Amino acid sequence: MGCQNTVLIVDDDERLLEMMEEMLSGKNLRILTTSDSLEAFELYLTEKPCVVFCDYVMPNMNGIEIMQKILQHNPQVAVVIFTGAGTVTNAVEAMKKGAYDYITKPMDIAKMSVLIDRILETQAIRQEKEVLQQQLDQLYGFENFVGNSEQIQHVFQQIQRVASSDSTVLISGESGTGKELVANAIHYSSSRKGKSFIKVNCAALSENLIESELFGHEKGAFTSAISKRIGRFELANNGTLFLDEIGDIPPSTQIKLLRVLEAKEFERLGGNDTIKVDVRLLTATNKNLHKAVKDGTFREDLYFRLNVINIHIAPLRERPSDISLLVHYFLEKYTSQMNKRIHRISNNAMLILESYNWPGNVRELENAIERAVVYCQGNVLTEEDLPPNIKAEAEGVKLTLNLPSYSLYGAEKLLIEKVVKQSNWNLKQAAATLGISRGTLYSKLDKYKIKKPK
């Protein structure tokens, strides 16, 4: 957008220019004027005004031609054309070709002044909206989504690929792995990002409430329906609807949901009017929906509809290479939020965090770091600052090995060497004994430089 508060006036009548400049001088605007139609565009290019007033009839180049050159360069500039009284066709032509408005001569400065205020106000709002949108994109886009493991990189790629489509996406993964973050990233990198993004947590709603929440109801549809209610599907029209914990919706709602997905229409509870909607649906679950289908608690047809694209987020214990990155990310987040001066985390504390099992995944890690930052007194975060249960697990490893004086690093290395050797380098079996995935075992072998003897 152009320079705020800069207004360019183009008219071949120099006396009129002087008068307008003087009359508008009290408005805290930067007023530029020119009577030369050829100079007008040059002036626009160097000064980037956000409002341009331009006379229709000018020598060399008329007002419409100047306007078109400017709009071609930046369609956001508001161009207002002066037309002679009684020349309606000129005004119509100006509006058709993209003028913001027209003013008929003789000039009414008061009208011009009001118009400038209105334009500047609209532009300020638009600019504010753009800034907010950028902030949202940052907040919910990829900037706050951290991970360099192969699994997370694959999730990033999937998000980028599906964002531009309207396909339904089922996001699966254990609790705290970042499913909502993925839903946010999809919406805010899709073409629907400027439209509504409505979230519904299906597990938080009782069987009775969920249908009126999703589809709305008419007044009197049931005893407590004292007024009409617009449902989430309607609110999300043209945007995205995120149904979290989709595995928890009751069978009766499953049928209705299927119908909306297939026909893209529904009725409010107690209503007769069919409502058409254009909604992109994202869903998430920490349940195994495939198993729920087999058990008969989730409709198979709905499952296929929802699972057009599946984005699965692996639990944190299966992608240990993300731990250090996440730790540093949250450390920075919380030290700056709490205005603390913590420069780094001790090696021991990091080793403890890296070998912990993380049943609560990233959410648990984030909480652990937040808590540790609160407790940390110096400028290095140490194992003393970590939550007791996480330290206790590390202690447990030391005790099992009966190696109280070993560092955790040494203890883990030793344990892995021992188990791998016992299994005769059968890594599938060794991983099972250690209670970790084969992927984790590979990365640990790599980390501790444990190699199969030749």
Residues interacting with Mg ion, by CB under 5 A? 179-180
**Which one of 138, 157, 167, 175 is in contact with ligand ATP (CB under 6 A)?**
175
Q: Which stretch binds ligand ATP (CB under 6 A): 109-117, 169-177, 229-237, 265-273?
A: 169-177
Burial of 280 (0-12, 13-18, 19+ CB in 10 A): buried
Residue 178 binding ligand ATP, by CB under 6 A:
yes
Distance CA 397, CA 404 (A): 10
CB of 157 to Mg ion, least distance (A): 22
**Residue 310 CB coordination number (10 Å):** 13
147 binds, among Mg ion, ligand ATP, none (CB under 5 to 8 A by kind): ligand ATP
Contact between residue 33 and residue 8 where contact means Cβ atoms under 8 Å apart: yes
Q: Is 177 in the site for ligand ATP (CB under 6 A)?
A: yes
Report angle CA 335, 338, 343 to the nearest 5 degrees. Answer: 25
Backbone angles phi, psi at 356, to 5 degrees: -70, 155
Q: Does position 158 bind ligand ATP by CB under 6 A?
A: no
Residues 6+ apart with CB under 8 A from 223: none
Q: Tell me if 292 sits within 8 A of 254, measured CB to CB.
A: no
Q: Which of 55, 211, 213, 366 binds ligand ATP (CB under 6 A)?
A: 366
Stretch that binds ligand ATP, among 39-47, 159-167, 177-185, 389-397 (CB under 6 A): 177-185
Distance (Å, whole) CA 189 – CA 395: 44
3-state SS class at 9: strand
CB of 385 to ligand ATP, least distance (A): 20
CB-based contact 37:12 (threshold 8 Å): yes
φ, ψ of residue 350 in degrees (nearest 5): -65, -40
The letter for the amino acid at 165 is: S
Q: Determine, following the binding rule CB under 6 A, whether residue 315 of this chain makes contact with ligand ATP.
A: no
Indicate which of ligand ATP, Mg ion, none lies near residue 319 (CB less than 5 to 8 Å, by partner kind): none
409 binds ligand ATP (CB under 6 A): no
* 145 contact choice in Mg ion, ligand ATP, none (CB below 5 to 8 Å, kind-dependent): ligand ATP
Asked if residues 218 and 208 have their Cβ atoms less than 8 Å apart, the reply is: no
Shortest distance, position 271 Cβ to ligand ATP, whole Å: 32
DSSP percent split of the chain into helix, strand, coil, nearest 5 = 55, 15, 30
Residue nearest to ligand ATP (CB): 178
Q: Which is nearer to ligand ATP, 17 or 326 (CB)?
A: 326
* Shortest Å, Cβ 389 to ligand ATP: 18
Q: How far is the CB of 338 from ligand ATP (least distance, A)?
A: 16
Q: Contact between 362 and ligand ATP (CB under 6 A)?
A: yes
CA distances from 221 to 162, 257, 288 (A): 38, 19, 35
Q: How many CB atoms lie within 10 A of CB 140?
A: 21
CB closer to Mg ion, 179 vs 317: 179
| Strand segments (E) across 297-391 | 309-312, 344-345, 380-381
Q: Which of 31, 77, 181, 376 binds ligand ATP (CB under 6 A)?
A: 181
Q: How far is the CB of 156 from ligand ATP (least distance, A)?
A: 10
Query: Exactly one of 49, 63, 173, 315 binds ligand ATP (CB under 6 A); which one?
Result: 173
Q: How big is the site for ligand ATP, counted in residues (CB under 6 A)?
A: 17
In the complex, the smallest distance separating the C-beta of residue 288 from ligand ATP, rounded to whole angstroms, is 13
Shortest separation between residue 236's beta carbon and ligand ATP, angstroms:
19
Q: Which does 448 bind (CB under 5 to 8 A by kind): ligand ATP, Mg ion, none?
A: none
CA dist., res. 276 & res. 185, Å (int): 26
Residues 94-153 that bind ligand ATP (CB under 6 A): 144-147
Q: How far is the CB of 21 from ligand ATP (least distance, A)?
A: 54
Q: Which is nearer to ligand ATP, 275 or 327 (CB)?
A: 327
Question: Quick count: other Cβ atoms within 10 Å of Cβ 278?
Answer: 12
283 binds ligand ATP, rule: CB under 6 A: no
d(C-alpha 178, C-alpha 244), whole Å: 12
Q: Residue 34, by phi and psi: left (phi above 0), alpha (psi -120 to 50) or beta? A: beta
Interface pick for ligand ATP out of 33, 212, 240, 286 (rule CB under 6 A) = 286
Q: What is the separation of C-alpha 101 from the centre of its chain, rounded to a whole number of angstroms?
A: 36
Choose between 49 and 147: whose C-beta lies nearer to ligand ATP. Answer: 147
Whichever of 174 and 213 has its CB closer to Mg ion, that residue is 174
Among the listed residues 2, 49, 63, 176, the single contact to ligand ATP using CB under 6 A? 176
* Binding positions for ligand ATP, rule: CB under 6 A: 144-147, 173, 175-181, 286, 326, 362-363, 366
